[in-house]
Every structure is written in C-alpha cells, then in structure tokens.
Structure 1
C-alpha cells in the first residue's frame, strides 16, 4: 500500500513524516523530504504545517529546515516513565554493571524492532551501535532474539514480516528459516547469543524479561567484545542475568505496559 493510502489516515501520515524527519538525524529541508516521501507536495506541506503548529516539529526561518520539536521531548519523557521498563530496572542494571564490569543493555520491542531503553557502559567502554533511544534490528541482536523467541505465534509472524534479514557480518542469520531455528533453541536454553551478528567483534548473552503469563516485556543483556572475553565466559553469567530479569519482571507486574510488537 502506498503512503497516500495509509490505513491509519491523517494520524498515520503525520507519524510517517515525523519518522522521516527523525531518520535524518539533523534539520532537513522540505525538498529533501519531498524526494523521499510518497506523498504529493501539497499533502506533505500540509502535514509539515500541522506538525509545526502542534509543536511536534520546528521550522527554522533562517535555514528553512525542519527538526523534531520540544513537545516530542516531553512526550518521550512521559513514555519513558510510564511505558518503559527503564525506571524499574535502573537499580538492577547498576547492580549488574558493578558485578561484571561489562556493558548492560535493556531493550523492548517497538514494531518488531529493538528499542534500547537504557544502558550501562563497561568499566572500559567500547564503541558500539546500541545506545539508549536507538532502534536496532531484532533478528541479529541478542536482546531482539530473546524477545522474538517468546512472542505468541500471531505477534511473532507480524514481527518477522518487519525483519530485513540484511547480512551485517558473516555471522548474521540472514533468513527467516535460520532465525526460526535459532528462536527454538533460545526457548529451550532460556537465553540468546549475539555471535558478532550485528557488529564484528561484539558479542552478548541476553535473556527475556517475562511476565507470569510468559509475555516478553523486554530483554536484558551483558555485552562485551571478542578481544576481551568469549561466548562461553558470557554464558556462565546467564543464570545471574535471568535472576536480575526475574526481579525486574516481578516489579513490573504491577505496571500496565502496552503491547509492543
């Protein structure tokens, strides 16, 4: 379906435009957005005007560029506080980081992709893609696979349809069939690996954060490098990660988290 036929109507179109602006990572001109947009010029201009009037975007009159508005900052902060595991998990992430000296990631699913909602850097920090607030692929990250493995069938199908299966490294699981086989193994052992699947030299052990009903509310991982440790060594930490994940899940049970697939 083309963008002009967005099933969610005007709201869906407006969110598409916000996503376009956000993907640029910098202020962007109307002409650049028009090149990427499937909307007619008049429709795109109208949507930009509405979003600007509502404070969701800002327009710099000197440069003629659009950027995300401060109203989004307020909404993002409210979402982080109300719908994210991060406030609950903060002391547990601190505890795990102190114990291991490695990088700790907390993530949730967002439309079939991984949204990193919090992070603790290693005692000796390593540059890597995953940062709080970033969205990454689910099929080739430890936290992503840990969550996918515990989705109900219908939700899993929806999430799989959103995976690109791009091969980032020689270790990336680049097909639906390979991923499904891996997810079955994750369900049996209770934790997931990232075997340099998203970034060369980056490895992790991840576990799902499950509700009492077995719903994947998020995932927790310990991440390191092949220069510093091995998958086998990270695997010895899996019971401790599961213990921390269970504590986060127990506290989260009293919260009402939106379903995110």
Structure 2
C-alpha cells in the first residue's frame, strides 16, 4: 500500500486533511472570500475538499486545484459532478511547486501542504507569484506549542513556536488579517480519525494483502502521536494579505 492509498483510507472520516472542524473551515473560507465571487487556487488540493466546500457555498466562485495524485483529483471531479459545481472547477495534475497559470487568483490556499514547497516561507514565496492585487492567502502549518524532543523534530521537521512563526511571516512581507489555532479537540479528533479510519479499513478487509500493513501503520502513527508529539505540536491557519501589493 503506497502513501496515497494510506492517506485515502486514513481521511475517510475526516476529508479535510488538517486538524480543523467544519465550523473552523467555514469561518476561514468566509474570511478568505469576502466578496464570494473570487477566483481561488488550492496548491496541493488533494481531493479538493476546500474547493468543493467553497464552490458549494459561493455560487459565483471559480476554483482551480493542483495536485500530483491522479486518484485524488478523480475523486474531486466525481464529487464536483455530484454537487453540480464541475463547470466552475478546473483541476491540474502536476507538482504544485512548478505550477503556472495565465491569470492571478484572489485567494490562494495551501493548508497542510507546505512540505511540497520546503516549508512555510518557501510556500509563501510561491504563493505570491499567483496572487492578484488585493488578494489573500490561506495557509495552514504546524508550530511548537512547547519545546519538542529531538525525536519529535526528526519526525515532524524544524518548526518554530507560534510567536516566532508569526514574526517570520510578517518579516517576509505579509500581514495576518485572521487566524485560527486548532483546539485540543480538533487536534485529537483529527488524529483519532486518521488512525481509527485506517485501522477500521484494515479490520474490515482482513483478506486484503495490504491489511496488515495498514493496521501496523495506524498503530505506529497512534504511538508516535500519543508518546511523541501530542503535547508539543500545534497547528495554525492564517489569512494573510501582502503588506505591500
């Protein structure tokens, strides 16, 4: 079972691939889309859940998504057809870091996919190239709530605490106009959904040759979360505007 297949099963009960509940997603989209007729781009869109929710809420919206996963994009298209929004959605199968478009976007999203660009600040550098004058960015990334162990840093990468993260974003030429820090409940719900959905799939498909791998992956992930990063990892979403257009 490859990484994409693991992720698909793990997110079966939590299609937003980040520790956010439905109300938090709604509020973030509301802050990122003040008019409701914007052109939106999601870099690393996966199954397109952010775009689908935006399109379903704002009937004048147009959206584009970029991802390397053919399966995820196919699922996004099927759901767009089910919702009747496929005429306002364009999907691109390519590396988000190399994506170019003939037009700019009023909102650019990258939530939980900053690793595709090498971190938060490189992500913002890439996003800036796609942003229309007066546009906004919705970005989501991790931070340290308290000092991590060396093992946790090795596992999750070289993050910073929240004040330092915001300082770096501001120094890079961005002004936060809204933000959301994932609650303990959102963080725990996401991890329980990830590990539980994957484990349930394995138990429901015991004859599948990938079942034992899926169950082991869920078990290891749960142990890493509970014994490793549960008390140190946080997640923040920021709605940003360029300090100078």
Structure 2 length as normaliser, TM-score? Answer: 0.33
Q: Which has the higher contact order (CA 8 A, sep 6+)?
A: 2
Structure 1 length as normaliser, TM-score? Answer: 0.31
